[in-house]
Each structure stands twice: as C-alpha cells, then as structure tokens.
C-alpha cells in the first residue's frame, strides 16, 4: 500500500488507514489525499473564477446607464453586496490554500487544537477544516457564550 505520513498523537486502525505503532504516526493513503486535493482544487478554482468575473463585469457603475438616483443607489448596493461576498470568499480561499499547504507538509487531517486525527467524513464534508468536530463544537459553543 502506498502511503503518505501524517503526524498524529493518536493511533488508529481502520480499513483505509495504516498505523505504524513503533513511532505513533498515522498513514493516510495517497488515494485519500488525491481525493481531498481534487476537492480543494475545485473549490479554489470556482472562487477564483467568480473573483475574475467580478473584476471583469461588476467593478464599474456607469451613471449614464442608470436613469435615476434610485437605480444608481440600487446598483451600488448590489455592487457592495457582491464585494462583501468576494471578501468572504477570500477568507475561504485562504483556508483552502492552507489545507493544500498542510497536505504538502504532511500535517493534513490533524486537528490544530487537540492534535487528534480529523474524521474522514468531516474532511469529506469540509476538506479545508483545521479542527476535529469536537474542537469545532467547543469553539462554536464559546463563540455563542461570548456573543
């Protein structure tokens, strides 16, 4: 079986994952990583495509094309809304790039908080995640308590 080493403080035995018990390292198959790379790359490409579209089509407002102030105000609002969406997508793009770097570094799939392995189902649903479900729930609970 071809594998890539991923650091982990926990050992796990699973049909798709091998564990070297002598050094406590979790091995993720190349097939699994290829799937995550593909998912992340597709998401990244979609965000970049939308950003280019925004730059080409949504960057300018021509007052001559808008007959009155209400039309201009409405167009400015829509443009502002589009830019806010692109701003959120920029944050998401950074998360995707970070996940791809972690794959290159061999640390993908390890929770940044507890250093446990992130469940494969969670990675499939959110391949850009950096936290296991338990740590993410704890984070959300703290955010909810402080807001």
Domain of residue 19, CATH code: 1.20.120.910
Choose between 140 and 10: higher pLDDT. Answer: 140
Choose between 2 and 71: higher pLDDT. Answer: 71
Query: Taking the model in full, what pTM does it have?
Result: 0.67
Whether pLDDT at 93 is above 90: yes
Per-residue confidence (pLDDT) for residue 64, from 0 to 100: 60
Per-residue confidence (pLDDT) for residue 42, from 0 to 100: 95
Strand duo 25-29 + 17-20: pairing: antiparallel
Give the C-alpha separation, 82 to 67, whole Å. Answer: 22
Contact 32, 117 (CB under 8 A): no
| Mean of pLDDT values over 1-15 | 39
pLDDT band at residue 18, thresholds of 50, 70 and 90?
very low
Continuous segment of H or E residues that includes residue 70: helix 69-105
State the DSSP code for 4.
E
Instruction: Output the six-digit token pair for 60.
Output: 């300018």
Domain total in the chain = 1
Q: Helix 30-57 crosses helix 69-105 at what angle (to 10 degrees)?
A: 160
pLDDT digits (tens, 9 = 90+) for 21-79: 333 345 467 888 899 999 999 999 998 998 888 777 766 655 566 567 777 677 777 77
Distance spanning both ends of the chain, measured CA to CA: 48
pLDDT digits (tens, 9 = 90+) for 117-131: 999 889 989 999 999
> Domain range spanning residue 84?
3-146
Contact 108, 99 (CB under 8 A): yes
| Mean of pLDDT values over 96-102 | 95
Contact 32, 120 (CB under 8 A): yes
pLDDT band at residue 103, thresholds of 50, 70 and 90?
very high
Contact 70, 78 (CB under 8 A): no
Whether pLDDT at 2 is above 50: no
Bridge partners, 117 (sequence order)? 110
Per-residue confidence (pLDDT) for residue 82, from 0 to 100: 79
């Amino acid at each position: 079986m071809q594998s890539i080493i991923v650091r982990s403080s926990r050992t796990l035995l699973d049909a798709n994952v091998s564990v070297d018990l002598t050094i406590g390292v979790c091995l993720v198959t190349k097939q699994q990583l290829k799937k995550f790379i593909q998912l992340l790359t597709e998401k990244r490409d979609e965000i970049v495509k939308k950003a280019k579209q925004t730059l080409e089509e949504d960057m300018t407002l021509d007052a001559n094309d808008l007959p009155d102030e209400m039309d201009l105000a409405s167009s400015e609002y829509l443009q502002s809304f589009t830019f806010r969406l692109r701003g959120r997508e920029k944050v998401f793009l950074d998360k995707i790039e970070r996940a791809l770097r972690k794959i290159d570094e061999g640390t993908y799939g390890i929770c940044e908080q507890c250093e446990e392995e992130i469940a494969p189902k969670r990675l499939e649903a959110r391949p850009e995640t950096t936290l296991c479900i338990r740590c993410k729930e704890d984070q959300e609970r703290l955010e909810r308590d402080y807001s």
